Amino acid sequence: MATATDRPPSARHRAPAPPWRASPAVVLQAAAWAGGIAVLALWWRDTGAVVGAAGWLTGAGRITGLLCGYMCALLVALMARVPWLESRVGSDRAARWHASAGRWTIGLLLAHVLLIVLGYAAQAQVAVVRELGTIVFDLPEMLKATAGALILLAVGYTSARAVRRRMRYETWYHLHLFTYAAVFLGFSHQLALGADFVSNAPARAAWYALYLSVACLVLYFRVLTPVRLNLRHRIRVEAVVPEGPGVHSVWMRGRRLDRLDARPGQFLRWRFLTPGMRGASHPYSLSAVPRDDLMRITVKTLGDHSAAVAALRPGTRVWAEGPYGALTAARRSRRKVLLVAGGTGITPLRTLFETLPAAPGDLTLLYRARSPEELALSEELEAVAAARGARLVYVLDAPDGSRARITAQRLRAIVPDVDRHDVYLCGPRGLSLAAYDALREAGVPASRIHHESFEL
């Protein structure tokens, strides 16, 4: 089980994007910047001479308002869970883009409100508080826009890392969904009051096209695609099997599951339709290659949802979305491969260990755990290693309790030519950070250390 929060978040440990030939990240970023420049060009075209403090404040307010509206569209597009984006760019990168777009959106929103109120107040020569009331209650569509702004600010506040850590995932998830309502409430005031749209029919049409395109992405990939997937495959819990202390595998039965197009290393978002678990979807990696009628995830108890997984009953209906993630064989660039797993980070690497094309001796799995009892799926791994002529190395704490650390020296002792390997890395945050640093010290280029590093 590798959830999104298992992976290392710090900037220096982020895996580089796949080569530009395989990833559209650069093209997408260039398109986003081009859209922002087009928005600024629209303001420039429709703005005459700017005179006095009121003019400068109002002009700056218009700029920040236009950019905020544009960022709202990008923000929602990045929430659409477009499989092509998440598998080609990577779920971690898409999540970081979404988080960055959210910060920019909130900053531009605050700047827009402040600058417009100050500009209008200076122009009318009235008190700022009085002008704020006039804007909110007298101008068309402003009550809805105010409600939308307050919702966006609330979502932004709860997404701050310090606040997010103190909230249950389900609470944060449901609050986050109000972003859609906020954008909807704010859209009409952009066209009703935006000086760049009132008398500019092409600009108005382009704005409608932008927002309708984003709405179509959300409708198709967040609603229609999951509905089609679940009607086609009709997934239900088959059995829950204990794998170790606090670790359980969930076997699920469905129809034509091999047509999910889930690649080894990917994950899906799972919603178990039983009381207490149907409220939000959670990401778990596949821990076995899907068969025609069966697939499996392996989950460690880390919170309320993962603890409830152990009590799932056979026959429980399952709602799945995906597959997502770019931790797949497509990132491989070398003949030799090292897989480094910690805890239940073994689950996506378990499928790669079974399926990555490799000659005998070219594939090594290093599995870090505190004790033999915590080696989930060890019998399966040993069978795969024996069948494929691959190496399986366990790194366990000493009997006296002293911690076995993954260091550059240990890596070179296990895999002397580690610097000539591609490395796939998945595990708890602390282990992943330490292993990444050890790999870099051992000479493995960052471009060949593959992991997805982000936080929800």
Task: Pick out the chain residues at pLDDT < 50.
Answer: 1-11, 13, 15-21, 454-456
pLDDT of amino acid 17: 46
- Identify the architecture of domain 235-324 in CATH: Beta Barrel (2.40)
Do 282 and 294 contact (CB within 8 A), yes or no?
no
**pLDDT (tens digit, 9 = 90+) per residue, 254-311?**
999 988 888 899 999 999 999 888 877 888 999 998 888 999 999 987 777 778 888 8
Residue with tokens 């399986």: 392
pLDDT of amino acid 46: 76
Rg (CA), the chain: 25
**pLDDT (tens digit, 9 = 90+) per residue, 61-119?**
989 999 999 999 999 998 888 888 877 777 778 888 888 899 999 999 999 999 999 99
Which residues 6+ apart lie within 8 Å of 161 measured at CB?
A: 455
Q: How many CA atoms lie within 13 A of 98 on its CB side?
A: 22
For the whole prediction, is pTM greater than 0.85? no
The separation between the first and the last C-alpha atoms of the chain, rounded to the nearest angstrom, is: 16
CATH of domain 329-452: 3.40.50.80
